[in-house]
Each structure stands twice: as C-alpha cells, then as structure tokens.
Amino acid sequence: MKLIFAVAISALFGTGAYLLLHRDLVRVVLGIVVISQASVLTLIAASLSRGNAAIYPLRGRVSDPLSQAMALTAIVIGLAVTGLLLVLVLRAVVAYRTQELDEIAAEEAARDEEEERSHQVRHDDEEAAAR
C-alpha cells in the first residue's frame, strides 16, 4: 500500500513539475494544482492505518483521523489558491492578450521601451524649451 502511494505521489509530483515548467500560464496553474494534489496524497499516506472510521462510540481500532482532517484543509486551501491563480492568469491574458510567458515578457519589454522613449522625448522637449 505504501509503495502504491509512493508511486502515485511521485507520478503526480513529476507531472505537476513538468507542467509547472511550461511557458503556458494555464499549464503552470494546472501544474500547481497537480502538485497540491500530490501533497494531499502525501498527507494521507503519512498516516496509513487500518481501522474503523473514528466516530464516537469508538469500536476496536480506529484509523487516524488527524491526517484526513489535514487533507481536507489542504483541499480547501488548494481550491482557494486555484481560484486566485486562475483569476490572475485571466487578468494577465486580458492585459497582454496572450498566455505565453515569453510573449508576455516580450510585450512587457516593448511597453517599457515605449515608456522610456516617451520619457526621453518629453525630457528632450523640456530641455529644448528651457534653452
């Protein structure tokens, strides 16, 4: 059982890391989601124990409820982070009209250059006026 969990966690983490290294922003978000699922699985695998559900009255051996509660918390936090990341990607897509990191960087550099040039022009104008 532990081996199955280990293989599943490593597969999920590997997939997530591969997605995370993509240039596409949506894939980056998907990578973060998959890695957070891997962490949830790690939490569950951290306390693998057989037994009844830990519900009062306790009958015989019960399984450890702590890691399951923590996994639930991790799922909720992962959901909120996913929502936030998706909105951030959406804003980036709206602002730069692309979801490729390279193109966003190029667009940003072009805008900076444009701004620099307009500053320079204004500066030159002011100097000319002062003269």
Partner 1 sequence: MILEVVALRLLGPALMFAAAIIVKGYADVGDGFSAGVIVALAISLRYIVLGPERAEQGMPILRRAPVVAVAGLLVALAAGFFPLLLGEPPFTHHPGPGEHVVKIGTLELITAVLFDIGVFLLVTGVLVVLVHHLTRLVERARA
> Could you tell me the smallest distance in angstroms from the CB atom of residue 9 to partner 1?
21
Nearer of residues 53 and 66 to partner 1, judged by Cβ: 53
Supply the angle between the helices 101-130 and 65-96 in degrees, to the nearest 10: 50
Q: How far is the CB of 58 from partner 1 (least distance, A)?
A: 10
* Chain positions contacting partner 1, by CB under 8 A: 53, 55-57, 72, 79, 83, 86-87, 90, 93-94
Tell me how far, at minimum, the Cβ of 57 lies from partner 1, in Å. Answer: 5
DSSP state of 27: H
* Cβ nearer to partner 1, comparing 84 with 121: 84
